[in-house]
Amino acid sequence: MNPRLLASAIAVLALIAVPYAIQEPYYVNIASQILLYAVFALGLNVLVGYGGLVSLGHAGLSGVAAYAVAYLLSSGHGHAAAIAGGLAAGLIVSAGFAALSLRVSGITFIMITLALGEIIWGLAYRWISITNGDNGLTVNARPAPFGLSLNSAAGFYDATLLVFLLAIAACAIFVHSPLGAALAGTRDQPRRMNALGFHVWMIRFWAFMFSGLLSAVSGILFVYYNQFISPQALALTASAEGLLMVISGGAGTLLGPVVGAALVVIVKNVVSAYIARWNFMLGAIFVAIVVFMPEGLVPGTVRLARAGWRAASRRTTPAPAGATGAAKPGEAAAPVAGQKP
């Protein structure tokens, strides 16, 4: 069996086992939070990691979806209609964001997404007839798909896990697809991609829509998890936190955003129980990551593990110099040269 497939299967089984292993609803809820933020970070990573487009407005996209669900529910619609409406609202606003922000790239792109995110926050705060302003909207009940209740911590975790697995599978498929390769190409050499016949703007647009879809999905999970949505969830800090997850875990990798989401959620919820100034803790961890693993936790760990494994195998088998090198000259040098291009 393919080792990668085997590792994925074990990871999925471990994730399914989480509620049985930890029982305590408080911690199961934290696991749900990690997964729903991971979906958000996965979506942001499509743009940041693979497209090279750093967005500071993505909380606005998930927020719009969350508000749409809460509003539709409060005005008497069913869960199916509310979720469909949430996704539609998220996608429409994503298209608007993309149309306005993709005229530029780099710093200007960051500033425009930031401004657009702030506009959404402003609307949530001020458009009181729809959003109830600072008081927010409450959601009275979680849905019960196929008669399965999501009211318990474990029930909600299972639903979130299913959505998360679909999201990460979609990302894995996209990243290895021709369109995914084209997106990575526009990140590294946009000018060349254009000269090769690629429609750079359109590639980025579809990437933005995919990213927006995942943000909307996480927004819907968020509003059902908290059964409440207020402008705070759309604030700049929420977007920045998503970016922190992507970068600390490893932008442009599949697992990086998931690890980053786990890190941020755990520090926020668990460490804050012991240390009042948990923000300081998060900052210190982030600084440590930047110093020791600037590429992020996932690729950094892979690098250290490889270096350690090589050092260990060198010590245990003092092969005659050049024996391994002569057999595979290209491979022996490859990982070393690849670390710091």
- Residues near another protein (CB under 8 A) are 173-174, 176-182, 184-185, 188-189, 191-200, 206, 210, 330, 333-334, 337-338, 341
Rounded to 5 degrees, φ, ψ at 62 are -70, -35
Q: Token match 């499509």: residue?
A: 46
Single out the residue of 121, 110, 12 nearest to residue 59, CA to CA.
121
Measured CA angle at 110 (ends 105, 114), to 5 deg: 140
Rounded to a whole number of angstroms, the minimum distance from the CB of residue 168 to another protein is: 15
Sequence-distant (6+) residues with CB within 8 A of 335 are 306, 310
Structure tokens at 236: 């700049």
Structure tokens at 27: 């911690």
User: Whose Cβ is closer to another protein: residue 136's or residue 185's?
Assistant: 185
User: Whose Cβ is closer to another protein: residue 321's or residue 337's?
Assistant: 337
User: Whose Cβ is closer to another protein: residue 176's or residue 277's?
Assistant: 176
Rounded to a whole number of angstroms, the minimum distance from the CB of residue 161 to another protein is: 23
Rounded to a whole number of angstroms, the minimum distance from the CB of residue 64 to another protein is: 23
- Which helix (DSSP H) or strand (DSSP E) does residue 107 occupy? helix 107-126
- Which helix (DSSP H) or strand (DSSP E) does residue 229 occupy? strand 228-229
- Which helix (DSSP H) or strand (DSSP E) does residue 138 occupy? strand 137-138
How many Å separate Cα 171 from the centre of its chain? 10
User: Whose Cβ is closer to another protein: residue 199's or residue 277's?
Assistant: 199
User: Whose Cβ is closer to another protein: residue 148's or residue 327's?
Assistant: 327
| Alpha-carbon separation of residue 220 from 23, 40, 46, 82, 100 (angstroms) | 25, 11, 19, 9, 24
Rounded to 5 degrees, φ, ψ at 150 are -105, 15
Rounded to a whole number of angstroms, the minimum distance from the CB of residue 42 to another protein is: 15
Rounded to a whole number of angstroms, the minimum distance from the CB of residue 287 to another protein is: 26
User: Whose Cβ is closer to another protein: residue 192's or residue 277's?
Assistant: 192
Structure tokens at 218: 């996480």
Rounded to a whole number of angstroms, the minimum distance from the CB of residue 184 to another protein is: 8
User: Whose Cβ is closer to another protein: residue 40's or residue 210's?
Assistant: 210
Rounded to a whole number of angstroms, the minimum distance from the CB of residue 213 to another protein is: 12
- Do 285 and 274 meet the contact criterion of CB atoms below 8 Å apart? no
